[in-house]
Amino acid sequence: MLSDRILNMGISKTLEMTAKARKLKELGYNVINLSVGEPDFFPPSFILKAAKKAIDKGYHNYTPISGDLELKKMICKKFKRDNNLNYSNSQILISNGVKQSIINLFLALLNKNDEVIIPAPYWVSYYEMVKFCQAKPIIIPTTIKSNFKITSKQLKNVITSKTKIFIFNSPCNPTGCVYSKKELKTLVKILSKNPKIIIISDEIYEYIIYEKKHISIASFSEIYNQTVTLNGLSKSFSMTGWRVGYLGGPEWLTQACEKIQGQTTSCVNSIAQRASIVALKYNQKKILKKILNSFKKRRNLIITFFKEIPTLKFKSPDGAFYLFIDLSFFLKKNQSSNNFSMHLLNKYFVATVSGESFGSKNGLRISYASSKKNLFEALFRIKKFLNELLNSSYMYH
Ligand code: GLU
């Protein structure tokens, strides 16, 4: 018999939709997968070369649990260079993607019924991981009107004596919202008055940002000691399968996470770690300029398309590579966007992720990390589907 913990756990919708799309593809259907957040570029060649060199040079053994020392040093440099954050080697832990960093932190910090504040829409796994640790997700809802951002008042209102963690994600998956310095300051004011709350700042989309500037919340000195900054190589270097994530944070907490890794996964793949050293060596903004331009063009393309459908509401994303649209107009009362995304996949072969698992039941996430050709075709099919809905009784209106 399975544990209650696992029976109560939902399946990752992002990965489930990807698996469904893959299956249909294998059956011969022409599926366009806009579900998973996975760049379609090749990692830069100098990173691939470094990985090959590491194989030939014999980096085949376990690294220290917390990571290859050279990589940890490079991560410290990166944090200083790009985020104005001072971390020493002992504050760094390298994990199998940011995902493992997050579960490490939750396992290290949460007791039963502790509360974790999560702004919604949120990335699917935050919620399920909190539940998995028998803690309580406390959701702060946001809307298109508020640009999907929470206010300090909202934050203040949900803090209780049981609040243990505030999870923060800017640029945000799935909404693409990016907090400005001024907005961060208002949140910092509240958080600094509650020094027992640990802030987990997931900055995996740091470099996929268009008009705005990324600011690490830990760079506000008032909250540095209560903040953990997470990042990784998956999104910026198109290295999703390499599984390299890392965190910088208070030493006591980093050590607790290290203890968990020591008993569970030992360390991250040694070759991937060696390659990551060269990836982080250079100013990433320069390396990623071309990729960022492509993402921007794709974002503009998809936005121009959806602007022509006034019944679909959305906010143009400032970062990441997702568009989160409000489907309310097309849904029957009490119906979630699950049916919508399943129909879109099964009949029109376009994979997306419904908003329900992001904590927004009328929403739909579309990843535009796909070629222009794919996007054009997908948008054409989506339009066809919307026309079908307008002419059928499926709609509430
Ligand atoms: N983070 C990506 C996404 O949201 C990858 C899949 C996952 O781990 O959820 O699509």
Is residue 18 left, alpha or beta, with left meaning phi > 0 and alpha meaning psi from -120 to 50? alpha
* CA dist., res. 314 & res. 331, Å (int): 16
pLDDT for res 394: 54
Q: CA-CA distances (angstroms) from residue 138 to 106, 157, 162, 259?
A: 14, 11, 11, 27
Tokens of 109: 């910090």
pLDDT value, residue 396: 46
List the alpha helices (DSSP H) in 162-250: 181-192
Q: Is the CB of 15 under 6 A from ligand 1?
A: yes
List the domain boundaries for the chain.
4-42+287-390, 45-286
Can you read off the two tokens belonging to residue 26? 């294998």
Q: Is 173 in the pocket of ligand 1 (CB under 6 A)?
A: yes
Beta carbons of 365 and 323 less than 8 angstroms apart: yes
Supply the pTM of this predicted model.
Answer: 0.95
According to CATH, the topology of domain 45-286 is Aspartate Aminotransferase; domain 2 (3.40.640)
For ligand 1, the distance from its centroid to the CA atom of residue 125, given in whole angstroms, is 8
Predicted local distance difference test score (pLDDT) of residue 282: 81
Mean pLDDT, each 10-residue run in order, the chain (397 residues): 94 94 97 93 93 97 97 97 97 98 98 98 97 97 96 98 98 98 98 98 96 95 98 93 98 98 97 96 80 94 93 95 93 82 96 95 95 95 91 60
Does the domain made of 4-42+287-390 have the CATH classification 3.90.1150.10? yes
> Cα(104)–Cα(110) distance, rounded to whole angstroms?
10
| 3-state secondary structure (DSSP) of residue 248 | strand
Q: 133: burial class by Cβ within 10 Å (0-12, 13-18, 19+)? A: buried
How many whole angstroms separate alpha carbon 211 and alpha carbon 303? Answer: 15
Taking the centre of ligand 1 as the mean of its atom positions, its distance from the CA of residue 36, in whole angstroms, is 6
Residue type, 182: K
208 CB near ligand 1 (under 6 Å): no
Say if residue 118 is exposed, middle or buried (CB neighbours under 10 Å; 0-12, 13-18, 19+): buried
pLDDT of residue 395: 54
Distance CA 246, CA 75 (A): 8
